[in-house]
Structure 1
Amino acid sequence: MLSSTLSRPSVKHLISTCRDPQTLAQIHALVILTGSLSHPQSPGRLIAAYARLGDIAAAQSVFKTTSSHNVSTWNSLIIAQSRYNSPAEVLRLYHLMLSDGRVRPDSSTFTVALKACAQLSDLKTAEEIKTHAFGSGYKHDVFVCSSLLNLYAKCGKMDEAMKLFDEMPMKDLVSWTTMIMGFVNVGRPLEAIGIYRKMRAESMEGDEVVMVGLIQACAAMGDVRMGRSIHGHMIRRCMRMDVVAETSLVDMYAKNGSLELAHLAFERMHCKNVVSWSALISGYAQNGLASDALQMLVRMQECGLQPDSVALVSALLACSQIGFLKLGKTIHGYIEKRLEFDQILGTAVIDMYSKCGCLSSARSLFDRVGLRDSISWNAMIASYGAHGHGKEALSIFLEMSETGLEPDHATFASLLSAFSHSGLVEEGRYWFHLMLQKFGIEPAEKHYACMVDLLARAGHVKEAHELIKSMVIKPGIAVWVALLSGCHKHKTLELGEYVAGKVLELNPDDLGIHALVSNVFAAGKRWDKVGEVRKAMKKMGMRKVPGYSLVEVNGKLHAFLVEDKTHPQHEKIMEMLERLDYEMRKMGYIPKTEFVFHELEEDVKERMLCNHSERLAIAFGLLNTSPGTRIVIIKNLRVCLDCHVATKYISKIVNREIVVRDVKRFHHFKDGVCSCGDYW
């Protein structure tokens, strides 16, 4: 008979190898008929088999109908619930097991229960389980410790994880990997690298997951040299390059500014997902290559992939950089139709509208966003500041305070910057004082830089210098450059030369800063110093960044360089500028040739001023838009004083609003007046 020939090993084999529910039900019936269900391990095996085939209800039924539960039975159901991603049910069963009192949890029980706590970020319950596990003799159990380690890492408790890790007598690859990834995820890349070095010192080889963690650490540290070394190590060891590893490489190279390598790594990928595309798009946008970012977005969609929030935020940043309002509006519409309008996307769209010159649209959207975090409020404060509306920025700040949100370092940096752009000296002094006294925020260099900029540009150059002297932290390049700009504007040349020396001591690698230093020396007729600075710039391989301006006409962007003669409409543009120059001179315009720091004839200087990129862009805009159309210009450098004066005249002559966004702020020209009140 069957009952006499069915042995326990064959029952185990039948259950473990069964691959379909109908056959398993027959085996289950056979086990009951033969009496094999009475074997202590049989119920647990049946529970595991039903769970493996996706029938969790049948697994629970076996558990309920089993008269006496042992640790195998409990663990089988607990593991089944864990595999079906039911962490709350895992913990319920764990506590039920404890309250039953007849069975003691073992290593598997504690391991799975701790995993459930990690999924729920339930540190309190985890500590209770840890106490029970260690008290039951599992303090040095590699599985329990690894699960606890994973919990600490996922909850960001890396100090606790490190303490446990150091106490573990046995560390497997999973443990080392957990520590490396844990430190990376909490923004402590140096410690992640340190763990890897300890791992290698103990002759443990890292796998592909470890390499991904190290690549991400290099991205966070900005260490492209080490990143390339890890990349080479993976190639030499013939490690499997899956989409995660390759995307991490693209991201690492992009974040470190090595965009050619990022693009090369991207193009070599056999399989690209949305994250891969987003990493490269973000890299281009973050490094100021807006057109490349937008081209990649188009390519991504041509490949049949829909951009995610990372790609869209990066695309919005690219639109902001070049003032591409039409495309920015299109992306906004796409988000409204396809995605949930969360705080990150909302803030990115608000920022885009503001930087494309549509402050009213930015405010309208801000008022419609339901949940606002401090980043959203900061963006709106900064937007008003950049447009020269310091009082409105303060109003938004006060409104934010009424919501119960506490201002942070970034909030005060935006507020103080807004005061600086509007010349609100008293307000700046008042809130700078309150920042520490009321809100307990110690001024950082960015706050000092804003205050020095505010004071120096308002003519309080000596007060700004005294503020620098009172700083408890060492003033950096931003602070000294802010003072130098004030000295240059207000012709405080003696102090300016001293400050220029301080700036040069800090070895700046920014071309604009060297140009400012050169201009300060030139204003004081210190041609020997000008020569030294320019010689140093040449020695370092640095040339002054040429000025360029962008203007959007009929949904297309047009770029103009200083003295640009390549545009198809060049002759018409020059004719327009000549007519405008004639009209301006009739109204009293006198070219400010003193701002051309070259020893040239006056007529040559005047011609150079007339060929500045923003004037070419304005003339093109006037030629190609209907009367009354608002013109928005995006310039990569600061507007010079002569162009500022000329644009005021032009706005009155053509009866149009002309908006110019330079590297510092917005200027809204209308009826011969600028919104900055000639204060920038």
Structure 2
Amino acid sequence: MIRWAWKTVLHKSWKSILKTVTFSLPKACNKQLPFHTELSIIYPPVPPRFCHGSCHLFDEMPQRTQGLYPIGFFYLLNLIEYCKLKPHLQSVVNVHALALKAGVLDHLPASTSLVMAYSRAGDYPSSVAVFGEICCKDVVVWNAMITSAVENELFRDALSVFAQMLQEGIEFDSLTLVIAISAVSRVTKRLGYLQAVHSLGVKKGLVSDCDLHNALISSYAKSGDLGSSVRMFLETEMKDEISWNSMISGCLRNDQPDKSLCYFKKMVSCGIEVDTVGLTCAISAATCLQDLSNGRAVHGYAIKLGYNETAHVSVLNSLVSLYSKCGDVDAADTVFRGIYVKDLVSWNTMINGFSSNGMILEAFHLLRRMQLEGSIQPDTVTILSLLSLCAESMLLIEGKIFHGFLIRRFIGLGILVINSLMNMYSKCNYIEKAEILFMSAQDKDLVS
């Protein structure tokens, strides 16, 4: 617990309101500090674009201009802002109580930050409650509420809030539409919703916004309407790396890897800065086409940009997959060995590479290495890859070992694993065991 001495530092008008308040903060901040000298250092108003983790676009956009308020007001506002960026539910609750006592929640920026703080601390119902208590809501508050629903994966709730905003005649901005599109892209039958949001942007003259254009490019591609995605891309005057990445990944998503590589080449020729997203998609496109020549060219370009380092493990994993599926296992193994901090995808990709190229001993040896290192253990993907290898090579003993491993490690086996085990036992002429698995499976599918 930390005791802040409020009355010695606040403006005279605050002395009658704020006395001595006790509240808890995360353990990292658990030390005694004089309020007036240390608070602004420990909890400065951190610009959201510098916070760790994935911040929503809502945090990155300019919000409101600040007026003149007593000095103590901004200390409280900084506390609420800190709770939004570093969410901790008990701290949010305590700062909320402090803000209520001080009357700070009449200030819209404070209320908006509190809505986001509760949401990111995992208490979405409290975000809704705070939002409901705000009398004069502006577009920023509505954007915060829609963002809160999206961040909690309540996408239909987000669309309901957006619809309510429209019904009440609130003037929305381009950020509102971007957030709504992020919700639309995660619901089923989204194309109609997306076209409706697009129409609203056209009607209000907001489609010139670059962020809105990029959101529409990506969402149309995810909805399977690649033609509309291409049209939006061509209409974008100031194309940035997000615009190009959206087209490269969109073509790949819609089973057009050749067009994906084409857009990547155009992106490079236009001098646009290439990031991990563009490189990974280009390598995946070359993998789909089994185009080793273009894959090596992208690999060379990645090395030139410095993307052969461990920090860009997603690019290296894509290269392992490329070389494995194109039959160059030595090159895949060389890239794999160069990954200093391997993640689960790295191991699974290399094991699958050995398996798909019939290198049985190497696959089992790599699995043993994976278990001995201890930091990362096999998962279902690892086992499925090796069970497939056991089935094709009729390795009954090894298949039984994996079956035992699955029983020990997992409480229940999913239908994918059961089907793979049935396939393995059947191909190893152990039909009785395959039949037992079939009878024990509760949710049989066509493969079963």
Q: Same fold per TM (> 0.5)?
A: yes
Corresponding residue to 2:420 among 348, 351, 375: 348
User: Are the structure 2 counterparts of residues 54 and 288 from structure 1 closer, same or farther at C-alpha, using a change threshold of 3 Å?
Assistant: closer
CA distance in 2: counterparts of 1:110 and 1:266, whole angstroms: 42
Residue pairs, 1:95-110, within 5 angstroms: 95-101=163-169, 103-110=170-177
Partner amino acid for 1:7?
Answer: L
Whole-angstrom distance in 2 between the partners of 1:41 and 1:128: 30
User: Displaced runs of 4+ in structure 1, greater than 6 A?
Assistant: none
Residues 214-613 of structure 1 mapped to structure 2, 5 A cutoff: 214-239=282-307, 241=310, 242-304=312-374, 305-339=376-410, 340-374=412-446, 376=447
TM-score (normalised: structure 1): 0.50
- For the structure 1 residues 159 and 338, does the alpha-carbon distance in structure 2 shift closer, same or farther, using more than 3 Å as the test? farther
Q: Within 2, Cα distance between the matches of 1:28 and 1:197?
A: 56
State the distance in 2 between where 1:223 and 1:357 align.
38
- Cα 1:16–1:92, aligned 2, differ >3 Å: closer, same or farther? farther
Name 1:130's counterpart in structure 2. Answer: 198
- Cα 1:338/1:110, change in 2 over 3 Å: same
2:276 matched to which residue of 1?
A: 208
Q: How does 1:56-135 map to 2 (within 5 A)?
A: 56-101=124-169, 103-123=170-190, 124-135=192-203
Equivalent-residue separation in structure 1 for 2:224 and 2:193 (angstroms): 16
Aligned-partner SS, 1:270: coil
User: SS in structure 2 opposite 1:119?
Assistant: coil
* 2:215 alignment partner, one of 134, 140, 147: 147
What is the alpha-carbon distance in structure 2 between the residues aligned to residue 362 and residue 56 of structure 1? 47
Counterpart CA distance in 2 for 1:363 and 1:43 is: 61
- Partners of 2:390 and 2:398 within 8 A in 1: yes
Structure 2 stretches lacking a partner, 5+ long: 1-10, 16-66, 83-90
> What CA distance in whole angstroms lies between the structure 1 residues aligned with 2:315 and 2:271?
23
Residue aligning to 1:645 = none
Kindly tell me: are residues 88 and 9 of structure 1, through their superposed partners in 2, closer, same or farther at Cα, counting changes over 3 Å?
farther
Residues 129 and 183 (structure 1 numbering): CA distance in 2 closer, same or farther, change over 3 Å? Answer: same
**d(CA) in 1 for partners of 2:252, 2:365:** 31
CA contact 1:290–1:321 (8 Å) conserved in 2 = no
CA contact (8 A) 1:250 1:263 kept: yes
Q: State how far apart, in whole Å, the 2-side matches of 1:212 and 1:199 are.
A: 14
Establish whether residue 7 from structure 1 lines up as the match of residue 74 from structure 2: no
CA distance in 2, matches of 1:142, 1:9: 38
How far has the Cα of 1:337 moved from its partner?
4.5
Q: Is the 1:115–1:147 contact (alpha carbons within 8 Å) kept by the matching residues of 2? A: yes
Matched letter for residue 15 of structure 1: L
Give, as a single letter, the amino acid of the residue that structure 2 aligns with 1:321. E
Identical pairs, percent: 27
Give me the whole-angstrom Cα distance separating, in 2, the residues matched to 1:9 and 1:244.
Answer: 49
User: How far apart are residue 284 of structure 1 and its match?
Assistant: 0.9
Cα distance per residue 1:373-403 (max 9 Å; x no partner): 44x26xxxxxxxxxxxxxxxxxxxxxxxxxx
- Aligned mates of 1:365, 1:46 — CA distance in 2: 52
What is the rounded CA distance, in whole Å, between the counterparts of 1:307 and 1:53 in structure 2? Answer: 32
State the one-letter code of the partner of 1:348. S
Coordinate RMSD, CA, aligned: 2.8
CA displacement at 1:184 relative to structure 2: 2.3
Aligned length in residues? 371
Deviation for aligned residue 1:312: 1.1
What CA distance in whole angstroms lies between the structure 1 residues aligned with 2:124 and 2:364? 48
| Corresponding letter in the other structure for 1:202 | C
Task: State how 1:190-201 maps to structure 2 within 5 Å.
Answer: 190-201=258-269
Give the Cα–Cα distance (whole angstroms) in 1 for the partners of residues 224 and 314 of structure 2.
22
> C-alpha separation between the residues in 1 aligned to 2:426 and 2:326?
28
Change (3 A) 1:332 1:93: same
The residue type paired with residue 243 of structure 1 is: V
CA distance in 2, matches of 1:250, 1:9: 59
**Separation in 1, partners of 2:380, 2:103:** 54
Q: String of CA shifts for 1:341-391, please: whole Å, max 9, x gaps.
A: 3343233222212222224433443444344444x26xxxxxxxxxxxxxx
Contact 1:15 1:24 in 2 (8 A): no
Normalising by structure 2, we get a TM-score of: 0.74
Tell me, which stretches of 5 or more residues in structure 1 are unaligned?
A: 378-680
TM-aligned CA distance change 1:187 to 1:12, over 3 Å: farther
